[in-house]
Structure 1
Amino acid sequence: MDVLRRRYLLSLLIRKEVQIRYRGSILGWLWSYVKPAAQFLVFFLALGVFLQLNGSIENYPIYLFSGLIVINLFNEAFGNSTRSLVDNGALIKKIYLPRELFPVSSTIVALVNFLPQLVILIVVCLVIGWDPTIPQLGGTLLGIAIITTLAIGLGMLFGAANVSFRDSQNFVDLIIMVATWASPVLYQWTQVAKIVPDWVFFIYQVNPLTAAVNLLHAGFWYPTTEGRGLLAPNLWLFGLLGLAISLAVLTIGQLVFRRLEGRFAQDL
């Protein structure tokens, strides 16, 4: 991949995006904490308090936040990488550089914004007695790898299409809207298993987002329940399937990207 050979250019793009993200903002980097905190409070009040999930799911705040931060990582990485080519249209028309740098750098910036939220989660988990095993920690890394790989692949696919067909962004917005509810971020997987047929539940588990969220729950939430929480079945199996699907999406996204990139400068 050209991105690996142009690491210096990639670092410049990442630095540029990080620096201009909150330029002119009073709170600046504090928004990396304010936005997820506000989202967490809204969902916790609506689901945890009003729908009483806080009573039925042990340590529901940890369960909720560990799922939210990883799905937010996907939403931000996917959304930003899809827009990255159009947003950098002036640069693409002036000079040549590997176009893949733009969606990849947007995904890495999303990872940078994800880190403060991850730190908060780790600190809170440690306070309430978090004691994960090595496989559980490995599962969290696998979950993050699934999310970033899938986001880059989809970002390349829809980003390339978005250059010529700007309504592609509307499809991305729909996917992002559905993503939070199509994986067990706000509810437990058992609620899905009770209602849908087995074959639908299998498709639900194969979804890379579901696998990633379940792995994050297993790494952060489950150790705080002292083994009383309910883990999704075959976590590692579906995690590896999710990674395989994400790699397939990345391959398809790169092929489409290469096919369409010759028209980027013209269409922009």
Structure 2
Amino acid sequence: MKKYINNFMKYRELLLELIRRDIKTKYRRSVLGMLWSVLNPLGMMVVLSVVFSNVFRANIENFPVYLMCGQLIFNFFNEATNVAMGSILGNASLIKKVYLPKYIFPTAKICSTFVNLMTSFIALLVVVVFTRTPIHPTIFLVIFPIIYVFLFALGFGIFLSAIVVVFRDMQHFYSILVTAWMYLTPIFYPIDILPNYLKIIVGLNPLANIIEMFREVVLYGAVPSMVLHVKCLVSCGIALVVGLYVFYKQQDKFILRV
């Protein structure tokens, strides 16, 4: 373990440079630049609120904030895992020329997306203020669901970046998987409307648990239960262990397959 920590510290400057490069590349020649990280979730919230608010108005109080809490978490996970998935293939020329710890590439992609999540949080605060939603002291506990979704995305993204090198069709299959995942995550609907068998499935969804915690601290002013913390920690742990194990087993073959 000490060896891996020292190796990570050795290349931390490279990691920071890759993160800066990804952020600059994403907003290159954009007039508004990183402001889009605020405007995009706001725009999507307005559109989805208009579409779904009449359907779920009776079931969900303060629907715009409810919607945006789910939207920010899921959109981060979706974007982070998608960009991480192509990180090894996208840096094939560099991997073939010099030795670098290859996990740096998916990690940098996820970290740069995480910066966008932090910026998008401003959009959530704007909606909270605009809808006159009470700001509870528990909002400071938002650090927990944010850390959980980052760790879960990191483990899942590292896993995908290794798998796609061997199985290129994963890029297309994952778009189908993440669409199904979105509808099995209570982003714009209350879980109470689901039949019992779907409630069980959604209850096993790590993102549903993270979103639930996010809403508790931001919208409802509740302190998340220890059970909910354990559920999130277990899912993050499994994602990281599986992701790192698969990546470790496959990384020596990358140079032959990219």
Length-normalised TM-score, structure 2: 0.89
* CA shift digits 1:8-43 (9 cap, x unpaired): 111111111111112133443233233323322221
**2:39 and 2:123 in contact (8 A); partners too:** no
Say if 1:205 and 1:5 are closer, same or farther in 2 by CA, change over 3 A. farther
Length-normalised TM-score, structure 1: 0.86
Q: Does 1:266 align with 2:256?
A: yes
**2:191 and 2:199 in contact (8 A); partners too:** no
Matched to 1:33, the amino acid is V
Q: Over aligned residues, Cα RMSD in angstroms?
A: 2.2
Q: Does 1:68 align with 2:71?
A: yes
Q: CA–CA distance in 2 between the matches of 1:251 and 1:167?
A: 24
Stretches of structure 2 that go unaligned for 5 or more consecutive residues are none
Out of 175, 179, 184, the position equivalent to 1:173 is 175
Partner SS state of residue 228, structure 2: helix
Partner SS state of residue 180, structure 1: helix
Partner SS state of residue 184, structure 1: coil
Q: Relative to structure 2, which stretch is displaced further, 21-30 or 176-185? A: 21-30
Matched to 2:188, the amino acid is L
Stretches of structure 1 that go unaligned for 5 or more consecutive residues are none
Say if 1:67 and 1:236 are closer, same or farther in 2 by CA, change over 3 A. farther
Q: Does 1:113 align with 2:103?
A: no
Q: CA–CA distance in 2 between the matches of 1:167 and 1:67?
A: 29
* CA shift digits 1:100-145 (9 cap, x unpaired): 11111111111111112212212432462533234x632x222112
Aligned residues: 252
Matched to 1:45, the amino acid is V
Q: CA–CA distance in 2 between the matches of 1:4 and 1:183?
A: 36
Matched to 1:241, the amino acid is K
Q: Percent identity?
A: 27
Out of 216, 220, 229, the position equivalent to 1:239 is 229
**1:146 and 1:208 in contact (8 A); partners too:** no
Say if 1:207 and 1:121 are closer, same or farther in 2 by CA, change over 3 A. same
Out of 19, 22, 35, the position equivalent to 1:17 is 22
- Per-residue deviation at 1:48? 0.9
- Per-residue deviation at 1:203? 4.2
**2:85 and 2:106 in contact (8 A); partners too:** yes
